Amino acid sequence: MRVLLMSLAFLLITGCSNDGSTSAQFTASATAPAPGLAKLEQKSHSGARLVVDVLLYGPEPNLDLFSFRFGIRIGDGDLVRLAPQMTYSQNALVAGNGQTIAITVDAADPSLVQIEVTKQGGGAGNGFGTASAVVIELPFDVRAAGATTLTLVGLGNQPPRAADSANAPIPAVAFDAAAAGVRGITTGGGSY
């Protein structure tokens, strides 16, 4: 009888939980990929963590890519937040002799992730011969059930931009103005 009561108590404690799990879903904008287009695309997701790449479609071997400056506007900063990292991945900019790549990501405002990726040390920019290059890879956490958007935007009074080694905007690079969608879906939980 004692074993039965202990088993029943264990089931009540572990089975009657309000704990649910949230999973992330990403929907890219309907904008078709084209050479020179920078667009938000899902790299991966696991549970509530969503990894998003800002891809620059190519090939664009003749560009003089030297820097990127833009933001990602989060429609609901309480639902989705950047998961800050010590380092961020990219492969759109390739450091030449005497150059380094500096990446600054600022999410002090939870609804706007400010991003700057730039070469340092002078010299030339680079192009790329592949179908796409990663401008930056960012992890986001979906914190609850609901839906919101992620949109590439400019910073301050400037549009989002890619610049060449003379710090002039590159007209051949356009940032997708259409929003991507993020949805949090909560499953499980509840009492029995």
The CATH number that applies at residue 90 is: 2.60.40.680
* Residue 24 within any structural domain of the chain: no
pLDDT in tens, 55-101: 999 999 999 999 999 999 999 999 999 999 999 999 999 999 999 99
* Residue 118 within any structural domain of the chain: yes
Rounded to two decimals, what is the model's pTM? 0.87
Q: What's the CA gap between 16 and 139, in Å, rounded?
A: 32
How many structural domains does the chain have?
1
* Residue 160 within any structural domain of the chain: yes
* Residue 21 within any structural domain of the chain: no
Residues 6 or more apart whose CB falls under 8 angstroms from that of 90 comprise: 101, 103, 117, 134, 135, 136, 137
> What is the span of the domain harbouring residue 79?
33-171
Whether 192 has a pLDDT exceeding 80, the answer reads no
* Residue 112 within any structural domain of the chain: yes
* Residue 100 within any structural domain of the chain: yes
* Residue 182 within any structural domain of the chain: no
pLDDT in tens, 145-170: 999 999 999 999 999 999 999 999 99
Instruction: Cite the DSSP H helix spans in the chain.
Output: 2-15
* Residue 122 within any structural domain of the chain: yes
Q: What's the CA gap between 188 and 19, in Å, rounded?
A: 7
Q: Do 117 and 135 meet the contact criterion of CB atoms below 8 Å apart?
A: yes
- The neighbouring-strand residues paired with 25 are 183
